[in-house]
Structure 1
Amino acid sequence: MNKQIGSAVNRALAGRRYVLPVGMLLCCASGSAFASGFALLEQSASRLGTAFSGTTAAADDATTIFYNPAGMSKLTDMQVLVVASGVRISSTFHNENSQAALGQPLGDEGGDAGSWNAVPAAYFALPINDQFAFGFGINAPFGLQLEYGNGWMGRFQALNNEIKTYNFNPALSWRVNKQLSFGIGANYQRIQAELTNSVNYTAVVAQGLQNLVAAGQVPALLVPDLIRANAGLEGHTAVRGDDDAWGFNAGVLFEFSDDTRVGLSYRSTIDYTVEGSVRFTAPTSSNLIGAGIIAAASAPGAALATGPASVELKLPDIATASFYHRMGKIELMADVAWTGWSSIQELRIVRDTGEVLSVTPERWKDTWRYAVGATYQLNDQWKLRGGVAYDGTNVPDSTRTARLPDSERTWIAIGAQWNLSDAWVVDMGYAHLFANDVPLRQDDGNAAARGFLIGNQKSAVDIVSAQVVYKF
């Protein structure tokens, strides 16, 4: 009997597409992960203390390799620098009138999706002569970690969202004359991503029943009872992938005097083809027709089958202009930075056969960041730092998702430098980011399959960082 039902289901579903769940399930499993706000500036404790103002003009330690390689021309000693940063993200969803997915309980608000995340970095700078210097940096320019509880009301849109990057950055600077220096670096970067969510297999069964009714295999009058018999069927999907690619960074430093200078830098886009797999874990239905539909949808080559998948991704380019001026014991700094997030207008998920699994509209826009900061030389051993900044968001309200509910942010930062000796320097920094509350109105294109999230996302970020410099 079970084989007969399974054969009927396969015949009815052959050549048909699961308009209700398939493309959008994969979309919500992967599309929103690569969102605005996962670029990481936290490559330096010294720069954190001034809210990352003066990044391309300060040029007072080896972290300039990341921000502006031309700044190595200001370093007089060979040095090794190690940075350890911790980023604490708090992100909570507050329900207003969300709607449950078809055949599923609504669920809870998911708790705090954020946690502490480590951002390490290390640098080596070597002045070769009066004109040239070489440097090498290892850091993580992009990253994300948000994880919601399994039973939350947005589980069919997002559960775990993790992105990691590893960047290896050799660089060279050239001092043309006393006023002008240039720098350039190569960036070999690797990305890894894991994105998961629950799958509403009750909606899969409902779509399959529609197809069976259209094929004359099931009477329409039986559909409501069959959906109730398959209520609460919940599975899981995970998208994992990785890739590596090359980019570059370049910069210029112009010194008006020993006390005043400006820096300009550019980091190129990096094009990825993130390849990996999409994996579905299906539930078991005690109803024979429901079990047949799930088996047909999960069979090799079918819509919800596990298999290879990939997405083309173009991470943004970044241009930064900085100002530095010293007045006795006080240093003043400022930054203006542009990030080209409009490089991501959609995310298209493709199987290795060339079949398009989903297309997610993103419509991201370019963003600007502004920062000002200052330092005060308290004595020979201690320097105090402070700064404020404003970060725009590239995510329109219409495409914001629970994967990364990005918002505008205001920074307040403090820091200090401790010169232990001529060889050893320790920097410490702390920043708190006040994020605007943002609306979340998202059904991922299909409220029956994934529910309709209606509410607000409240977020905040705390960053602590320490670095140690050893000068040879």
Structure 2
Amino acid sequence: MTTPSKSLFKVSLVTVSVAAASSAFSAGFALNDHSATASGKALAGVAASNEDISASFWNPALFVNAKETTVYVSGAYVMPSMDVTVNSASDATPTVPAFGLTGPVDITSDGATQDSVDDTLVPSLYFAKPLSDKTVAGIALNVPFGLSGDYGQEWAGRFHATETGIQDIALSFALAHRVSDKLSAGASVQLHSAEVVLESAVGRSGSEGIGRIEADATGFGFSLGVMFEPVKGTRLGAGYRSEVEFDFEGDVKYTDVAGVNGGLSALGAGYQLVNADVTDSITFPSVLTLSVEHDLSNKVTLGLTAIRTGWGSMDGINIDFDSDQPNSKLTFGFEDQWMYSAGLTYAYSDKLTLRTGVAMDNSPVTDEYRSARTPDGDRKWISIGGTYDFNDMTSATFAFTHVMIDDVSVDRDFTASGEEDAGRGTLDADYKSSANVISVAMNMAF
């Protein structure tokens, strides 16, 4: 049987869930805008592209696209919108008459919370240096996963989440080799540095404070890729990015809460909210990209891509507090998912290339486990873009993507979900989301 003190403790749960929020751009919390070139065609054909070195994020073999020392700098400005309508919410105050606690308290709400996700800049940098006519060394800096979102500390679902911040920066070192006129292969090793900020309200409605976790970790990964051109004008590509294991270390701190590090807490006698160190191990998913490009004519190229993200590796978390506080658990219930895209590239003139594409990006989140930190839905992309060649050495690229996200609902009830929500109370909310993304890039050869 769960003791009152253990049930009460759950309210202090501020989960170090690196996957506990969704990016309004890509399904889950993946960021897929690492190339303005690829974004203009919704990633269609990206693992088989012969356009520039930015496609090496999905397939390291494509560093062979560099014939000279080359720098590609790309930036994507993600402008998400997420409107949340709270239908009902309550805190998790238990019924303990001895302490004057009479059960959950309904939390009033003005109905809608707007702009609960922040605009975000996603940078990418690629550098390629040919070592010979057939071998190219490459370096890349990317942000594979990330999110910035803030509901604020006044919304009705604040016991489930207030702020979420995630950032994973990857530095890659690659080698690509042209095995023959038809086959190229490549590989990279990656150093990842990840940070996470998770915040939520703690206590009970009307007598509450804020709990905040900040944690960081480093990890290592690798990628492999091949590109095969069986006949002139038809290219097949495959790239694989490995899982990355992180051992997060950080701390949880409480503010405006009575009883921190001693005394009676806001939840009653015999219970304390204690500032403490926290640890947890989380595995970021692998990514498999399969693409084909076919030159329909000397001006038009068709591209197709399928991307499988192994979200199933993130089945949940188990946070260990460096104190007498019991471990905290959260089930993600993520499922492996595919993204599919198709697009066209049109060489309008010797200097101007135009692109367009569409994509379907399936969410890994299931209805059963969707939460205020994972209000994720399936997405559809529509993209346009273009590249202008100033000369043989320098070009500029632009892309615009509109992302339509399915409306979803969050229905969290600790009487149904068990102790995972026993400290957060209930939340019934509807989400309407979308995003616009503007990408620009410069490609320079020396």
Structure 1 length normalisation: TM-score? 0.84
In the alignment, what sits opposite 1:335? Answer: 305
The residue type equivalent to 2:285 in the other structure is: P
Q: Does residue 54 of structure 2 align to residue 63 of structure 1?
A: yes
Residue in 2 that maps onto 1:262: 236
> Aligned equivalents of 1:281 and 1:294: distance in 2?
17
The AA in structure 1 aligned to 2:35 is: S
What's 1:167 paired with? 170
Q: Is the 8 A contact 2:53 2:63 kept in 1?
A: yes
- Is 1:107–2:98 an aligned residue pair? no
Identity across matched positions, percent: 31
Structure 1 gap ranges (5+):
1-14, 203-230, 299-303
Q: Please report how far the alpha carbon of residue 461 of structure 1 lies from its aligned counterpart in structure 2 after TM superposition.
A: 1.2
CA positional deviation for 1:130 = 2.1
Q: Deviations over 1:399-447 (max 9, x none)?
A: 1111131110000000010001111100000101100001110246567
Partner of 1:362: 332
Aligned to 2:67: 76
Aligned AA for 1:275? Answer: E
Whole-Å Cα distance in 2 between the matches of residues 136 and 354 of structure 1? 45
Classify the secondary structure of the residue corresponding to 1:333: strand
Rg: which structure is higher?
1
Per the alignment, do residues 340 and 55 of structure 1 end up closer, same or farther by CA in structure 2, a change over 3 Å counting? same
Equivalence map 1:215-234=2 (5 Å): 232-234=206-208
Q: Secondary structure at the match of 1:155?
A: coil
Q: Which one-letter code corresponds to 2:175 in the other structure?
A: L
Report the equivalent of 2:284: 315
Change (3 A) 1:104 1:456: closer
Please say if residues 21 and 28 of structure 2, whose CA atoms lie closer than 8 Å, have aligned partners that are also in contact.
Answer: no
Q: Which residue of 2 aligns with 1:279?
A: 253
TM-superposed CA distance for 1:192, in Å, is 0.3
Contact kept in structure 2, 1:253 and 1:262, CA below 8 Å:
yes
Give the structure with the higher percent helix. Answer: 1
Q: Which residue of 2 aligns with 1:325?
A: 294
Is the strand fraction higher in 1 or 2?
A: 2
Deviation at 1:107, TM superposition (A): 2.9
Distance in 2, Cα, partners of 1:55 & 1:354 = 50
Q: How do 1:3-152 and structure 2 match up within 5 A?
A: 18-23=5-10, 25-26=12-13, 28=15, 30=17, 33=20, 37-99=28-90, 102-103=104-105, 105-108=107-110, 109-152=112-155
Question: Tell me, what secondary structure is at the counterpart of 1:141?
Answer: strand
Question: Structure 2: which 5+ residue stretches go unaligned?
Answer: 93-103
Distance 1:23 1:96, change over 3 A: closer
Task: Give, in angstroms, the shift of residue 89 of structure 1.
Answer: 1.3
Instruction: Say whether 1:470 aligns with 2:439.
Output: no
Equivalents in 1 of 2:19, 2:350: separation in Å?
Answer: 49
Residue deviations 1:377-408 (CA, integer Å, cap 9, x gap):
11111111000000011111111111131110
CA distance in 2, matches of 1:443, 1:264: 43
- Number of positions where the alignment pairs a residue of Structure 1 with one of Structure 2: 421
* Cα pair distance change 1:135/1:74, threshold 3 Å: same
Residues 9 and 271 of structure 2 are in contact (CA less than 8 Å); yes or no, is this contact kept in structure 1? no
Kept after mapping to 2: 8 A contact 1:59/1:72: no
Q: Is the 8 A contact 2:21 2:375 kept in 1?
A: no
Q: Which amino acid aligns with 1:148?
A: Y
Q: Indicate which of 314, 317, 323 corresponds to 1:347.
A: 317
Aligned residue for 1:450, secondary structure, equals coil
Q: Distance in 1 between matches of 2:106 and 2:253?
A: 22
Query: Per the alignment, do residues 293 and 434 of structure 1 end up closer, same or farther by CA in structure 2, a change over 3 Å counting?
Result: closer
SS at match of 1:107: coil
Post-superposition offset of 1:31 = 7.3
Provide the rounded CA distance (Å) in 2 between the counterparts of 1:344 and 1:119. Answer: 23
State the AA in 2 paired with 1:152. W
Counterpart of 2:221 in structure 1 is: 247
Residue 453 of structure 1 aligns to a residue in which SS? strand
Question: CA separation of 1:237/1:76 partners in 2, compared to 1, >3 Å: closer, same or farther?
Answer: same
1:291: Cα distance to partner? Answer: 5.8
Q: Give the equivalent residue in structure 2 for 1:457.
A: 431
Show CA shifts across 1:307-348 (max 9, x none). Answer: 100111000001110001112210110101111100011110
The answer as to 2:384 corresponding to 1:414 is: yes
Report the residue type matching 1:322 in the other structure: S
Identify the residue that residue 98 of structure 2 maps to in structure 1: none
**Structure 2 counterpart of 1:160, one-letter code:** E
Displacement of 1:119 in angstroms is 0.4
